Chain A
Amino acid sequence: MTAQRTIIAGASAAGWLTAEALRRHQYQGEIVLIGDEPSYERPPLSKQVLSGDWHADRTALFSTERQDKIGAKLLLGRASALDVGQRTIKVEHGETIAFDHAVIATGVRPRTLPGTDVKGFHVLRTIGDALALREKMSRQGDIIIFGAGFIGMEVAATARRLGIGAIVIDPVFEPLRLRLGAAVASRLYARHRAEGVEFRFGLSLAAISTRAGEDGAPRLKAVSLSDGSVLATEVALVAIGCQPNVEWLSGSGLTIDDGVGCDDFCMAAEGIWAAGDVARWRHRGFGVDMRIEHRTNAAEQGDTVARNIMGQAKPYLPVPFFWSDQFDIRLQVAGRVLEDAEARVEHGDIDGSSFVVSYRADGRLSGVVGWNAGKAVTEFRRELLAQLSPQT
């Protein structure tokens, strides 16, 4: 057998975890990762790193020893083109490399709002983003957060813990109702209000006022909202979701539609795969196309892609799972909270310190939300996993 080469475009969690899984599944060929920054965990960025509880070093994905053991070659840079016919990937300002298998793991980047490219406006995706926001938050008073989703809410909770005021703006009323169900979401927003977070729902950013900074560049001074109100602030965060990094694949012939389109096996074309936040694949168990931006998905999808590179022909059938820490609350969500699902409190009391709410559609469990109920959630996850296992 001739030596094989797998190129993984993207060296964050999904890329590295795919490399690790390839070795776990006895891949003997060469692994080349292309990435433009060291790998680290993103979940702590909006929490422990932003609060200052953790030094940035603690977010490393692997120890150096562990990373060395994987035996992958890391090329610093970005993949800039993929040639499906020639089976090559070009590195920006660099060489063109041939592959037997390619894994697209280029992730996502934050969406922004028009006109927010001024100092004082932040996004939160990279460790650099987290450290920059932390410095500004600790020095410049209240923060205005656009987006009342998970990142916005985690940042609001962290700000309050640091004694910093937080005003959260979202055009949608309590948007996490769609992700957590109305009752749990309503309790979460109420808790934030009790901790001093202010919400302005039904509003959006209308205009930005700036002043000249010390270096002459414009700096944020105030934001105007769609109802005409003006909020003075030196620091604002845009946390309105992310978009896939797929521009480098334009003209490749791959299906690009809110991510890299893949089949049930996470295959985009023969020998070309996608994993992590950027991958849109057909979930055979749910009968829908999905793209999941969760840390657990990076590991599980990387594992499936590695298995399929090894010829296991394994459809990717995960139970989506994520968690969010806000104040002393650890939320966990497994499966899907479907719009027409029936909610049922399974453990504890929805006004208590710990509870689980299950969601059932046509009598069948579709998802579960836990509030400080780690172990109880896992029991429901096993039921959800069993629904999707090929034996049943």
Chain B
Amino acid sequence: MKIKVDREKCVSSGQCAAFAPEFFDQGDEDGVVVLLHDSPAPELRHKARQAADLCPARAIAVEDEPLDHEPS
């Protein structure tokens, strides 16, 4: 699983940094998303997926992961 961010689409809402600070931070000045690391451990993949889906600008993509994957 790879996380990708689109800094052009980002609206600095901070949804990702508020809900999944393991992966996402924001620039001090502009608040634009900063990806801390792009390869989540299996137990955190669902959280990364959730953060991507909560982004109001759809600026986060989580690749190589079927939608129905969720550790339970």
Name A's B-contacting residues (CB within 8 A). 17, 20-21, 23-26, 28, 41, 43, 61-62, 69-71, 295-296, 299-300, 303, 321, 323, 325, 330, 332, 354, 373-375, 377-378, 381-382, 385
Contact = CB atoms under 8 A, between A and B. Distances in A.
A303 B53 contact: yes
Contacts of B58: 41, 61-62
Given A303-B50, A303-B54, 13 more contacts: A20-B53, A23-B68, A61-B58, A70-B67, A71-B67, A296-B56, A300-B54, A323-B12, A374-B12, A374-B26, A374-B27, A375-B17, A377-B14
25 contacts: A21-B53, A24-B70, A25-B70, A26-B70, A41-B57, A70-B67, A296-B13, A296-B15, A296-B56, A299-B15, A299-B53, A299-B54, A323-B11, A323-B12, A325-B11, A330-B12, A332-B13, A332-B14, A374-B26, A374-B32, A375-B17, A375-B27, A375-B31, A377-B14, A378-B14
Interface in B5-58: 11-15, 17-18, 21, 25-32, 46, 49-50, 53-58
Contact of B18 (A21, A25, A43, A385): A385
A2 B32 CA distance: 45
Contacts, number: 82
A295 B14 contact: no
Nearest to B21: A382
- 10 pairs of A and B residues whose beta carbons are closest in the complex: A374-B31, A378-B14, A374-B12, A375-B26, A295-B56, A23-B67, A299-B54, A381-B18, A375-B31, A296-B56
A61 B56 CA distance: 10
B68 to A, nearest CB: 6
A295 B55 CA distance: 9
Given A296-B15, A381-B14, A374 B30 contact: yes
Interface of B: 11-15, 17-18, 21, 25-32, 46, 49-50, 53-58, 67-68, 70, 72
B13 to A, nearest CB: 6
Contacts of B27: 374-375
Given A21-B53, A26-B68, A382 B15 contact: no
A373 B18 CA distance: 14
Nearest to A299: B54
A119 B70 CA distance: 52
Given A24-B50, A24-B67, A303-B54, A375 B28 contact: yes
B70 A378 contact: no
Nearest to A384: B18
B18 to A, nearest CB: 5
B53 A24 contact: yes
Contacts of A325: 11
Contacts of A23: 67-68
Contacts of B49: 24
Contacts of B31: 330, 373-375, 377-378
Contacts of B53: 17, 20-21, 24, 299, 303
Nearest to A354: B29
